[in-house]
Structure 1
């Protein structure tokens, strides 16, 4: 069957465009994902440092004025929660970069 016969028998042929990538391009995309996820996890280290600073300051404050221990502890727990939340958000962004894109 010739090409002309095919075009006459199927006048409404659908042309399909597909996105084709090379192996090198795919490797570059994977490397970019891994680098981006690694950069997003740097905030987890900052979160750990923040938690250390919060509880270190709590120890110093309690050593200076033990009568304010309960009030200082509640403020320290709030600081811990906020610092930990930022670390979890950084981890969430890293997982989104890795698995959602």
Structure 2
């Protein structure tokens, strides 16, 4: 699925001093489609830095989080995203509930 995405949306990539990729993010029309951080690099602020960069360009950015991923949900809520809804199915119609989030809601 990621390969199908690549030619269609901008990729923001975080790399180390040797240009080794540590994390990436896709934003399409103000919606963060994906944020992936190398598990060995989690908790070091890389994902937060990418999100802040995205928010500088898209102050009302939205994203979706799998309900079964409380760590990711907590991360986004800590970053200031608020819940705006829930879907029983994911974007491919599978039974994985999704939480919809938006930044900038008081």
TM-score range (shorter-chain normalised) is: under 0.3
User: Using CA pairs below 8 Å that are at least 6 residues apart, which structure has the higher relative contact order?
Assistant: 1
**Bigger radius of gyration among the two:** 1
Structure with greater strand share of residues: 2
Q: Compute the TM-score of the two structures, normalised by the length of structure 1.
A: 0.23
Structure with greater helix share of residues: 1
